[in-house]
């Protein structure tokens, strides 16, 4: 048996956490990594308990919550959404990840197919990419004309103002990662057969088009960051921190019942989650 494997007999003889740590060290296991993983899972569970409480309040009060996840390829959007939704009631929640538009949808008003997916009373909707495809992904890859892009950029603040004015709680996340982290994550997807489904033709071009994505992302922030619908930047090089703090942010802005009894802090780390500011250093 390899030295690093823990036997059932060894585990059954443990009586204290100190003995467990000593056993791990004797097997040359990185105790700090194990502790970090355990701490993360414990904190995640506490926040997920709050998410369940929050969803119950959304249902009872007929609230409408829309959370948008934007960011470069491999920024960790999908993994974060899974942590948000893991224990939520699927009858009052949905995840929207629309494919490319059909011929019929191409002839419609751009926002039309997204409007069908907006939350009903008592519902939370998580958008794994949203109408903001037209602000970054489409112009970078030549999927829309300059006229279509400009029309979208003019219309989106008005569209979101109508949503917010009508009572929709709109959260816009941008998951920010470095070029090196993106490259490493895309390469890991290529090598892992369980993650290859995440690869898309766009992933192969993401690194080469880094500067073009940067340009359109900055244009998007400059023209669509508003007081009623601000962009929230999530520093996502560390996936675990990004998941925890984005959940914490959503919980922090909603006054759901039982919030005061939370088993953990609901104040997001400002070094991980921050409101976009025009004078701030460039993200990504």
pLDDT of residue 198: 73
pLDDT at residue 249, as a whole number = 98
Dig out the tokens for 144 from the structure.
């829309």
Query: What is the structure's pLDDT at 207?
Result: 83
Q: How far apart are CA 237 and CA 239, in angstroms?
A: 6
Q: Is 106 exposed, middle or buried (0-12, 13-18, 19+ CB in 10 A)?
A: exposed
**R_g of the chain computed on alpha carbons:** 21
Whether the CB-CB separation of 48 and 246 falls below 8 Å is answered with no
pLDDT at 195: 78
pLDDT per residue rounded down to tens, the chain (284 residues)? 345 567 777 766 766 767 776 777 777 777 777 888 889 999 999 999 999 999 999 999 999 999 999 999 999 999 999 999 999 999 999 999 999 999 999 999 999 999 999 999 999 999 999 999 999 999 999 999 999 999 999 999 999 999 999 999 999 999 999 999 999 999 888 888 877 777 777 766 788 899 999 999 999 999 999 999 999 999 999 999 999 999 999 999 999 999 999 999 999 999 999 999 876 656 56
Selection from 184, 49, 205 nearest residue 140 by Cα: 205
Q: Are 209 and 138 in contact (CB under 8 A)?
A: no
pLDDT of residue 26: 79
pLDDT at 11: 64
Q: What is the pLDDT, as a whole number, of residue 2? A: 45
What pLDDT score was predicted for residue 281? Answer: 55
Q: What's domain 17-275's architecture?
A: 3-Layer(aba) Sandwich (3.40)
Burial of 124 (0-12, 13-18, 19+ CB in 10 A): buried
Question: Residue 113 and residue 125: Cα distance in Å, rounded?
Answer: 14
Q: pTM of the full predicted structure?
A: 0.89
State the Cα–Cα distance between residues 164 and 161, nearest whole angstrom.
5
Report helix, strand or coil for 94: strand
């Amino acid at each position: 048996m390899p030295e690093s494997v823990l036997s059932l007999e060894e585990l059954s003889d443990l009586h204290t956490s100190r003995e467990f740590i000593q056993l791990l060290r004797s097997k040359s296991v990185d105790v700090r990594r194990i502790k970090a993983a355990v701490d993360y899972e414990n904190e995640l569970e506490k926040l997920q308990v709050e998410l369940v409480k929050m969803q119950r309040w959304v249902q009872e009060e007929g609230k409408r919550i829309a959370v948008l996840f934007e960011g470069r390829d491999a920024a960790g959007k999908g993994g974060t959404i899974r942590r948000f939704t893991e224990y939520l009631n699927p009858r009052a929640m949905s995840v929207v990840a629309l494919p490319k538009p059909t011929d019929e949808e191409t002839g419609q008003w751009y926002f039309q197919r997204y409007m069908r997916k907006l939350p009903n009373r008592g519902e939370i909707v998580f958008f794994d990419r949203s109408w903001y495809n037209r602000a970054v992904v489409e112009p970078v890859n030549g999927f829309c004309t300059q006229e279509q892009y400009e029309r979208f950029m003019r219309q989106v603040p008005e569209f979101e103002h109508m949503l917010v004015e009508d009572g929709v709680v709109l959260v816009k996340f941008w998951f920010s990662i470095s070029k090196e982290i993106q490259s490493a994550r895309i390469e890991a997807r290529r090598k892992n057969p369980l993650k290859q489904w995440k690869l898309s033709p766009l992933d192969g071009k993401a690194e080469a088009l880094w500067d073009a994505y940067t340009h359109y992302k900055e244009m998007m922030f400059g023209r669509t960051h508003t007081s009623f619908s601000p962009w929230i930047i999530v520093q996502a090089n560390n996936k675990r921190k990004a998941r925890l703090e984005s959940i914490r942010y959503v919980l922090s802005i909603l006054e759901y019942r039982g919030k005061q009894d939370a088993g953990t802090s609901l104040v997001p780390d400002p070094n991980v989650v921050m409101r976009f500011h025009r004078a701030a250093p460039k993200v990504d």
